[in-house]
Amino acid sequence: MKEMKVTLRSVALASMSLLCLCGYAHAGGFYACKGKDKVQVFQDYPCPKGTGVSPNDEAAAPNLPIEQAYIGERITIHMTSLRKVLDTVAVVADLELVVDSSIDATGEFVYLNTPWDAILADVARRYSLDVRKVGQNLYVSRHL
């Protein structure tokens, strides 16, 4: 019997793909869709018909130039909850997220074709958050 490694990202992408392609509810609070130039778009409303992302789709891993300071996979996010943004970044980065329960800002979070680590740095700066990566865990708490 062949062993199969199941990660949070693979489960999330499979769930999102199935739900987005079927046009039903969203998994984990966000949808993964194909955007312009095959950039993966994460949003908290349904994908336009035919733009749901499959885990085997080329759009799930775009081959785009990397910015100098940030090396994370480029994604596009359009959401209204900081918590959903952090959840999305953790899924894309294949990390387990541990967030302080007091963190729950709302607003309009729009990042276009931006490396996930740049998004994380920006929200940490804007909301005075401490972000630590320890092994495969991403810890986010209020800056004291």
CA–CA separation, 85 vs 108, rounded Å?
10
pLDDT for 10-19, tens place per residue? 444 444 433 3
Judge whether 3 lies within some domain: no
| Structural domains in the chain (count) | 1
The pLDDT tens digits along the chain (144 residues) read 444 444 444 444 444 433 333 333 333 445 666 666 655 666 666 666 666 655 444 444 444 343 347 889 999 999 999 999 999 999 999 999 999 999 988 989 999 999 999 999 999 999 999 999 999 999 999 987
pLDDT (0 to 100) of residue 71: 86
Judge whether 96 lies within some domain: yes
Judge whether 1 lies within some domain: no
Domain assignment of residue 41, given as a range: 8-142
* Whether the Cβ atoms of residue 78 and residue 41 lie closer than 8 Å to each other: yes
Closest to 96 (Cα-Cα) out of 105, 87, 104: 87
pLDDT (0 to 100) of residue 6: 44
pLDDT (0 to 100) of residue 70: 84
Expressed in angstroms, the distance from the first to the final Cα of the chain is 50
Judge whether 129 lies within some domain: yes
| Amino acid letter for position 59 | A
Read off the tokens for 56: 């085997």
Q: What is the CATH number of the domain that holds 44?
A: 3.55.50.30
pLDDT (0 to 100) of residue 87: 94
Query: Token pair 């984990």 is at which residue?
Result: 28
Judge whether 63 lies within some domain: yes
Judge whether 2 lies within some domain: no
pLDDT (0 to 100) of residue 132: 92
